């Protein structure tokens, strides 16, 4: 069964980490959010691409869910001596090698999608990793403190400012990266990973054409709720939804995908949302969606595949 997963960073990678043992990883293509991308010290950093790649390579820092395990920070510390800036974005020494390599490829005219493919192959990742677009479409969070790049909002300001709106810069002129359309149209199933619907799945769906591909494809489309018991397990999804006046529930997220979703997996804690989701014509599967260890990641991946069979 050929599968395409739409993925953000840390939350999605937990499921992907389970999927790589539950299926043939060569049959999996992952379309990754690049709205988090940011340039720092002249380097192009693509956090979600790297989180997914390092996770599937077995190299991610397990405590953080981002960065490389056992990495050191000598280069960053020395860099900050020159720039005098505050240390708010932790770029490890090994991680920096990825950013240097990617940036050199981009400067020599290669596309982001080519760099992602080269990096994942080098790290022996068997699944295909495709950025949602080759264009730079950074996510701006409009806040009560002004407009902030997503990383400044999330990491530097620890998601404290009130969110007034979200803008995906340059998205209208972006195209899906090579391989995105083909893999969605070719797939037997599409999995919407349990990622933040506003700033992870949201930017992917905002790339012109991708939402229509999900409606057109003969593939079954299944999603896993990132909201459990009225809160997000990881990251600021719940706070951002509440700031924007949205109800923080699995049903609310399902509703925002109802034009292409066939099946939605919600947690046992949200069983009461099932009737509302089913009234949208979406089949509901109730499961343990809290992936707190390797067994639970595998179990949710198996539940997802079973719901597709
Ligand atoms: N997240 C943090 O909370 N603090 C950091 O210092 C940080 C550094 C970092 C470096 C490279 C990278 O690829 C990701 C990094 N992240 C960090 C995570 C990341 O910014 C976010 O979790 C994602 O953008 C959301 O998916």
Residue 234 pLDDT exceeds 90:
no
Q: What is the pLDDT of residues 133-184, one digit of tens each?
A: 999 999 999 999 999 999 999 999 999 999 999 999 999 999 999 999 999 9
Distances (CA, A) of 232 to 167, 240, 253, 289, 297: 21, 10, 11, 11, 17
Q: How far is the CA of 64 from the centre of ligand 1 (A)?
A: 9
Q: How far is the CA of 260 from the centre of ligand 1 (A)?
A: 30
**If pLDDT is split at 50, 70 and 90, which confidence band does 79 have?**
very high
Q: What is the pLDDT of residues 109-147, one digit of tens each?
A: 999 999 999 999 999 999 999 999 999 999 999 999 999
Question: Helix, strand, coil shares of the chain as percentages rounded to 5?
Answer: 45, 20, 35
Q: How far is the CA of 154 from the centre of ligand 1 (A)?
A: 9
Helix axes 10-22, 47-56, angle to 10 degrees: 30
Q: Are strands 38-40 and 43-45 parallel, antiparallel or unpaired?
A: antiparallel
| Ligand 1, pocket-test mutation among 44, 80, 90, 194, most atoms within 8 A of CB | 90
Residue 190 token pair: 């599409």
Residue 92 pLDDT exceeds 90:
yes
Contact 12, 199 (CB under 8 A): no
Q: Which residues pair with 222 in a beta bridge?
A: 191, 263
- The closest of 261, 236, 267, 200 to 48, measured between CA atoms, is 200
In short, whether 37's Cβ falls inside 6 Å of ligand 1 is no
**If pLDDT is split at 50, 70 and 90, which confidence band does 195 have?**
very high
In short, whether 73's Cβ falls inside 6 Å of ligand 1 is no
- The closest of 187, 286, 166, 204 to 34, measured between CA atoms, is 204
pLDDT score, position 284: 98
pLDDT score, position 268: 97
Domain ranges of the chain: 3-38+48-58+126-139+170-308
The model's pTM is 0.98
Three-class HEC string of 248-291: CCHHHHHHHCCCCCCEEEEEHHHHHHHHHHHCCCCEEEEECCCC
pLDDT score, position 309: 87
- As a whole number of angstroms, the distance between CA 49 and CA 9 comes to 7
pLDDT score, position 155: 97
**If pLDDT is split at 50, 70 and 90, which confidence band does 13 have?**
very high
Q: How far is the CA of 280 from the centre of ligand 1 (A)?
A: 35
**If pLDDT is split at 50, 70 and 90, which confidence band does 233 have?**
confident
What's the CATH fold of domain 3-38+48-58+126-139+170-308?
Rossmann fold (3.40.50)
**If pLDDT is split at 50, 70 and 90, which confidence band does 75 have?**
very high
């Amino acid at each position: 069964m050929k599968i395409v997963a739409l993925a953000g960073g840390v939350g999605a990678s937990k499921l992907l980490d389970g999927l790589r043992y539950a299926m043939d990883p060569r049959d999996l293509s992952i379309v990754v959010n690049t709205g988090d991308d940011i340039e720092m010290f002249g380097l192009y950093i693509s956090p979600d691409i790297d989180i997914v790649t390092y996770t599937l390579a077995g190299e991610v820092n397990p405590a953080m869910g981002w960065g490389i395990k056992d990495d050191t920070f000598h280069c960053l510390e020395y860099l900050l001596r020159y720039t005098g800036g505050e240390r708010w974005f932790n770029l490890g020494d090994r991680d920096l090698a990825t950013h240097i390599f990617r940036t050199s490829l981009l400067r020599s005219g290669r596309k982001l999608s080519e760099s992602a493919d080269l990096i994942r192959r080098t790290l022996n990742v068997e699944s295909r990793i495709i950025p949602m677009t080759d264009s730079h479409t950074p996510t701006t969070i409009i806040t009560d403190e002004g407009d902030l790049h997503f990383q400044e909002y999330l990491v530097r300001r620890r998601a404290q400012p009130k969110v007034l709106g979200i803008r995906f810069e340059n998205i209208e002129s972006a195209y899906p990266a090579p391989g995105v359309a083909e893999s969605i149209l070719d797939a037997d199933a599409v999995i919407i990973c349990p990622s933040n619907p506003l700033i992870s799945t949201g930017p992917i769906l905002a790339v012109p054409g991708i939402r229509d591909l999900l409606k057109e494809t003969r593939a079954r489309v299944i999603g896993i709720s990132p909201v459990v018991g009225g809160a997000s397990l990881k990251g600021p999804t719940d706070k951002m939804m509440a700031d924007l006046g949205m109800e923080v529930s699995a049903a609310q997220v399902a509703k925002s995908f109802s034009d292409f979703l066939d099946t939605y997996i919600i947690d046992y804690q949200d069983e009461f949302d099932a009737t509302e989701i089913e009234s949208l014509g979406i089949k509901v599967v109730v499961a343990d969606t809290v992936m707190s260890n390797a067994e639970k990641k595998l179990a949710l991946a198996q539940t997802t595949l079973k719901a597709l069979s």
